[in-house]
Structure 1
């Protein structure tokens, strides 16, 4: 018995012909919004743009205090935050070892530099990761509501 062989295999978005993002189909709610980096740095709500996304340096708030958007209905990034932290730690350990081998600075200078840099890099990366994930979930929610109407 012969099995038919298909020559064109489409694997979700990977097998799609054409651009992944069509400029004509972008969400209207994202027009005039700041970029993802600025949103993560300032902690901007995806709906109203007010700086209410984070209640602590890397902890997403429950709701937006300005517009009332419930962030608990969206993926807030807690599941993979540990993995992101481990990846950042591995990169920073590699960088610290590389600096130690190449330059060999005194221990006090390394401690003075790598301590604050590690904290800033971890918090910054977690904020960016959580903001990107939350914004994407919000976009999906908006698209689903638009298709349902």
Structure 2
């Protein structure tokens, strides 16, 4: 389905289905922000309350957590959004 990390192929390599018309827009990025925000913010507050680390520890720890989570979630969520667009498009399209 993907040609690069986030680039959707022009057509399916197996069945030849045209994929250029299925646009995910900013949906995957929004869902990544919501998911990581719901996970990272409570964890950061808990770490602060429990251990009171210096600010640089928070910056390093949560910076890596957010970057890793973004890289792990963005591609699968883009695939889901393209699949949902394909599934729920109008029949005349």
Q: Give the alignment's TM-score, normalised by structure 1.
A: 0.44
Partner Cα distance (1:136, 1:94) in 2 = 30
Moved over 6 A (4+): none
Matches within 5 A, 1:1-149: 45=1, 53-56=2-5, 59-63=6-10, 66=13, 69-74=17-22, 76-91=23-38, 92-138=40-86, 140=87
Alignment partner of 2:74: what SS? helix
Partner Cα distance (1:136, 1:81) in 2 = 12
Structure with greater proportional helix content: 2
Shift of 1:71: 2.3
Shift of 1:124: 1.9
Q: Give the alignment's TM-score, normalised by structure 2.
A: 0.62
Structure 2 residues not aligned, in runs of 5+: none
Contact 1:64 1:70 in 2 (8 A): yes
Structure number with higher relative contact order (C-alpha < 8 Å, ≥ 6 residues apart)? 2
Which structure's CA Rg is the greater one?
1
Alignment partner of 1:73: what SS? coil
Structure 1 residues not aligned, in runs of 5+: 1-44, 46-52, 145-149
Residue 133 to residue 65, structure 1, CA distance change in 2 (3 Å)? closer
